[in-house]
Amino acid sequence: MKKIFKILAYAIATVVLLAIIGIAFVNFTYPRVKPAPDLAIEKTSDRVARGAYLANHVTVCVDCHSIRDFSLFSGPIVPGTLGAGGDIFDQSMGFPGVFYAKNITPAGISGYTDGELYRLITTGVTNEGRAMFPLMPYSYYGKMDPEDIYDIIAYIRSLDPVINEVPESKADFPVNIILKTIPKDGSPTEKPEKSDQVAYGKYLTNAASCVECHTPINKQGVILPDKLYSGGREFAFPDGSVVRSSNLTQDAETGIGGWTEGMFVGKFKQYLDSGYQVPKVAPGEFNTIMPWMMYAGMEEDDLKAIYAYLKTIEPMPNNVVKFSPPVSSE
C-alpha cells in the first residue's frame, strides 16, 4: 500500500512540475508577435477626419473607451469622457476577470509611439509586451487596411487630453495564462473600392466587428463558426437583465431576409432624426449595448454596402429572445 501511495505522490508531483513548466514556458515565450513597426504618422486634417469617422461611426473605438450612460437608451457617451476610458467589464457581465477600457486620449497614450499603437490595435500587444484580453476586437482590426488604422491613430492623437488613471485589467486563472497565446500578427488587406459594393461592405462589416456580437459563443467565449451572424449572443447588465443580439442572416422569419435596403438604412438613421430624443430607461427595463447613435452617423453608402454584404449571408433560423429582465429575488 505504501508503494502505491509513493507512486501516486510521484505522479502528482510530476503533473504539478509539468504544469509549472508549461505555465513558465507560456509566460516567457508569449505573446509571439513581430516588434512594433517604425512609424511616424502625419497628422493631416484628412487623416484626422477619416479617423474620426471610423472611430466614432464604424469601428466605434470611443464606444468602449468612454463612459456610457445606461440610464438612457443605447448608453450614449457621457459628455467629457470621450476617449478617457474607465469603463468596466467584469464577472457580473460574464467576463473571466475585471477588464478596464484604457484612456486613449493623448494623456493616456503619450507613452506609445505610432508603431506601438499600430501593433496594439492590430495584435492586442501593449508596448510592455502584455497581451490584452480580446474584448477589444484586435483580430478584426488586424485585417483592415493599414491606412485606416493610421487614420484612427491620427484621430486619437488629436483628442483633447483627459487625465484619468485607469486601473490595470486582471483576468481570472487560467484565462490569464491562455490569453497570452491569443495575439498574433495581423493580416492587413487593401480597402476595396466603393464601387465593389459587396466587397466594400464585407470590409466595413469586419471593421465594425459585427460578427463578434451577432454570433453565439461557446463556454470558452469563442464564437461558433457554424452559426456566424445568427444572433443570440448574450450580454448581461449588472442588474441581472440580459440582452441578446439580433439574427443578421437572410432568414425571412427570424433574421433580416425580409428587410429592404431602405428598412436597413432607416433602422440606423432614425436615431439622427431631429425629432428623436433619447428615452430614459429604468433599471430592469429593456436596454441595449448596441451604440445606435454612433452607428447612425455612418454614411448611407456605407450602410448600403453593409446591407449588400449581409444579403450574401446564408439564411439561418434562430428565433432570438431579445431581452430577459432581471430575475426577482423575492
* pLDDT tens for each residue of the chain, 330 residues long: 666 656 665 556 565 555 455 455 445 455 889 999 999 999 999 999 999 999 999 999 999 999 999 999 999 999 999 999 998 988 887 788 999 999 999 999 999 999 999 999 999 999 999 999 998 999 999 999 999 999 999 999 999 999 999 999 999 998 889 989 999 999 999 999 999 999 999 999 999 999 999 999 887 678 899 999 999 999 998 888 999 999 999 999 999 999 999 999 999 999 998 889 999 999 899 999 999 999 999 999 999 999 999 999 999 999 999 999 998 644
Cell (9 digits) for 50: 477619416
Cell (9 digits) for 236: 448581461
- The model carries a pTM of 0.91
CA dist 104 and 67 (Å) reads 12
Cell (9 digits) for 181: 497565446
CA dist 309 and 304 (Å) reads 9
Going 133 to 34 to 201 to 291, the CA torsion angle's sign is positive
pLDDT of residue 9: 58
Report the residue count for the chain: 330
SS3 63: helix
Place of cell 509549472: 20
pLDDT of residue 5: 56
Q: Are 103 and 162 in contact (CB under 8 A)?
A: yes
In the chain, what is the greatest distance between 2 CA atoms, to the nearest angstrom?
A: 82
pLDDT of residue 12: 63
